[in-house]
Amino acid sequence: MKKIMLIALISFGFLSLMLHACSSRKAEPHKGEEFQAKDEHVANGEKMFMEHCQKCHPGGEAGLGPAINSNPAPQFVKRFQMRHGLGTMPSFTEKEISEDNLKNISDYLKALKSY
C-alpha cells in the first residue's frame, strides 16, 4: 500500500512539474517579476525574437502560430524549423537570421522558460 502511495505521490509531483514547465504563459505579470536578460546573448536573442517571431507567437504564447513556450522539442529542432519552415511557418535564410542570432533566440527561449 505504501509503495502504491509513494508511486502515486511521485507521479503527481512529476505531473505537476511537467504541467508547470509546460505552461505557455511566461509573461512578466504571470511570473510576478520583470524578465532580466542575464547576458548579451539572451538580450540579443530577445531582440531577434521580437523582430522575427513575436508577431506569430506573442511572448512565446499561441497566436497566429502555436505556442513555443510549451513546446517540449529540443532547441536544435526549433532552430531547424526556423531555418526550414513547417506548414504555414515560413523558413528564415541565414541572410534573414544569422546562425549566431538563431542560437541567441534559443538562448532567449531557454531563459524565458526558466526565469
What are the residues binding other proteins (CB under 8 A)?
23-25, 27-30, 32-35, 46-47, 50-51, 54-56, 58-59, 61-67, 85, 87-88, 90-91
Cα distance between residue 5 and residue 54, in whole Å: 44
Q: Which one, 2 or 33, has the nearer CB to other proteins?
A: 33
Task: Provide the β-strand partners of residue 89.
Answer: 86
Q: Which one, 6 or 25, has the nearer CB to other proteins?
A: 25
Q: Which one, 41 or 59, has the nearer CB to other proteins?
A: 59
Per the listing, cell 538562448 goes with 107
End-to-end CA distance of the chain: 38
Q: How far is the CB of 94 from other proteins (least distance, A)?
A: 16
Cα distance between residue 89 and residue 98, in whole Å: 18
